[in-house]
Amino acid sequence: MIIGGGAAAHACIAAYREHGGELSITLVSDDDRLPYFRPHLTKELLTGDISFDEIELEDDDSWYAAQGVDVHLMCRATGIDLPTRTVGTEHGPVPYAALLLATGSRAASLPVPGADDPAIVSVRHAADAARLLDLTADAQPVLVIGSGFVGCEAAASLRSRGLDVTMATTEAAPQVDRLGPATGRLIGGWLSDLGIGFRGGARAAGFERGTDSIRANFAEGPAIEAGTVIVATGATTNVEVAQAAGLAARDAVAVDGSMRTIVPGVFAAGDIADAMHPVAGRRLRVEHWGDAERMGTVAGTVMAGEQAAWTQVPGFWSNIGGRQLKYVAWGDGFDEVRVRPSAEGVTIWYGRDGLCAGILTFEHDEDLAAGDALIAAHAPFRR
C-alpha cells in the first residue's frame, strides 16, 4: 500500500518489483494524474519547451497495471489504523502488509489578507502550472513572492517567454539565507540579466483586488501592481495522516536508513522522511527529487525482503533561465564558504565544523563529482 503519487511512490513500485516483491500494490494519490516529473512544472512546462503530455514518469499508462498496481487517483488517504493494518481512503478501507508513506509537500500558504484571490497561484501540482499558464496568457505583469528555487525558476521561465516579471522577497538576494551571499549574488545576477525586477527585504502584508489587477502590499515600501501573483514561499510537509497515527513528530516522519518507521511494516520516504543517514551519521530531511526517488527505491527494495539504505550525499539541481546549478550537501548548515570563480562558471564550497559539508557548482561538473566524494569522506575543509 502506497500513500502518495510522487517521486518516492513511483520509485518504490519499480524497486519492489525489481527485487522480487510479489504482493499486489495499491496506490492512492489525491492528484488527478499518474506520477509525473514535478521539476518540469517551473522549467520546461513554463518555458513552453514541453507539453503536459510529456511530463509523466511512465510513457505508457499501462505500466501500472503491468506492475500489478491498483491506482486510485483523486483519492485521499484519511487515516491509518495500525493495529488492524488498514488505511482509510476516500474510496474505502485498504488492508496492507507493508505501507509506504510518501505524501510529500504542499506549497506553504501566505497567511495575509487577500491571499485567496484567484489571480494568486502556487506551483506544486501539474494543475497549478496549467492555471498559471492560463492566467499569464492575459493577466500581466507577473509578481513572484519568494526567492527560493521554485520562485527563481518560475520567474526566469516566464520571463523567457517575454513576460514582465518582478520578484519580491524578504531575502536581500535570492537564496542568500539558505546558501550564503555568493550564491545570492550569482542567482541575483542571472535574474537581473534576464530583466527580472527584484525587490529584497519586502515582506508581503496583503493583497487588494483592483478591476484588472491585484495590488500587493508590503510591510514597508510601495505596493506592486500585478496581473498574476505567484506565491513561492516554501513548502509544508503533508504529515497530517502520519501524525494522526502517531508516526510523525512536528513536520516529518522519523525513519532509519532503510526508511523503516518505528512501526513494523510501515515505511516513509521523500520530503516527509526524517531519515537517519548512515554516512552523515545523523538525521537528514531534504526536499530533493533525486533523494525522494532514492528513498523510494530503498523502501521498495526492503519491502521486497532485501537490504538497502540511503547512503548518497543528498543533492539537487535547478535550471534558472537556461543556466543549471548543481548542489550536493548534507544541507543542514554551514559555517564557512569558499568561492572559486572561473571564466566559465563558479564553484562554491561549504564547510561545517572544519569538514566539507557541501558544494554548489555552475559549469563545473568535475568539481561536483570531487566534492561529492569529499563530503561523503568527511574530508577537512580547505580554506
Ligand X SMILES: Cc1cc2nc3c(=O)[nH]c(=O)nc-3n(C[C@H](O)[C@H](O)[C@H](O)COP(=O)(O)OP(=O)(O)OC[C@H]3O[C@@H](n4cnc5c(N)ncnc54)[C@H](O)[C@@H]3O)c2cc1C
Q: Does 284 bind ligand X (CB under 6 A)?
A: no
Cell numbers given for 163: 513576460
- The whole-angstrom separation of Cα 82 and Cα 93 is 13
H/E element, 299? helix 289-303
Q: Does 274 bind ligand X (CB under 6 A)?
A: no
Tell me if 154 sits within 8 A of 45, measured CB to CB.
no
- Report the 3 state secondary structure along 28-94: ECCCCCCCECHHHHHCHHHHCCCCHHHCECCCCCHHHHHCCEEEECCCCEEEEECCCCEEEECCCCE
Q: Which is nearer to ligand X, 213 or 318 (CB)?
A: 318
Tell me if 261 sits within 8 A of 248, measured CB to CB.
no
Q: Does 41 bind ligand X (CB under 6 A)?
A: yes
How does DSSP classify residue 366?
A: H
Q: Which is nearer to ligand X, 5 or 300 (CB)?
A: 5
Residues 221-240 that bind ligand X (CB under 6 A): 238
Q: Does 179 bind ligand X (CB under 6 A)?
A: no
Q: Does 368 bind ligand X (CB under 6 A)?
A: no
Q: Does 5 bind ligand X (CB under 6 A)?
A: yes
- The whole-angstrom separation of Cα 228 and Cα 36 is 25
Q: Does 328 bind ligand X (CB under 6 A)?
A: no
Binding mask 134-163 for ligand X (x = CB under 6 A): ----------------x-------------
Q: Does 42 bind ligand X (CB under 6 A)?
A: yes
Q: Does 320 bind ligand X (CB under 6 A)?
A: no
Q: Does 63 bind ligand X (CB under 6 A)?
A: no
Q: Does 351 bind ligand X (CB under 6 A)?
A: no
Q: How far is the CB of 366 from ligand X (least distance, A)?
A: 21
Tell me if 337 sits within 8 A of 329, measured CB to CB.
no
Q: What does 131-200 look like in DSSP terms, one character per residue?
A: HHHHHHHHS-SEEEE--SHHHHHHHHHHHHTT--EEEE-SSSSTTHHHH-HHHHHHHHHHHHHTT-EEE-
Cell numbers given for 332: 543542514
* Residue in 26, 47, 67, 105 binding ligand X, rule: CB under 6 A: 105
* Residue in 103, 169, 261, 361 binding ligand X, rule: CB under 6 A: 103
Binding mask 75-94 for ligand X (x = CB under 6 A): -xx-----------------
* Residue in 21, 104, 257, 351 binding ligand X, rule: CB under 6 A: 104
Q: Which amino acid is at 12?
A: C
- The whole-angstrom separation of Cα 327 and Cα 331 is 9
Q: Does 38 bind ligand X (CB under 6 A)?
A: yes
Q: How far is CA 176 from the centre of its chain?
A: 18
Q: β-pairing, 355-362 with 323-329? A: antiparallel
Q: Which is nearer to ligand X, 150 or 348 (CB)?
A: 150
How many binding residues for ligand X (CB under 6 A)? 36
Closest CA to 78 of 245, 235, 268: 245
Q: How far is the CB of 42 from ligand X (least distance, A)?
A: 4
Q: Which is nearer to ligand X, 16 or 381 (CB)?
A: 16
* Residue in 15, 26, 29, 258 binding ligand X, rule: CB under 6 A: 29
* Residue in 1, 2, 28, 252 binding ligand X, rule: CB under 6 A: 28
Q: Does 338 bind ligand X (CB under 6 A)?
A: no
Q: Which is nearer to ligand X, 41 or 142 (CB)?
A: 41
Q: Does 318 bind ligand X (CB under 6 A)?
A: yes
Q: Note the residues at the interface with ligand X (CB under 6 A).
A: 3-9, 28-31, 38-39, 41-42, 76-77, 102-105, 123-124, 150, 238, 241, 270-271, 287-290, 292, 316-318
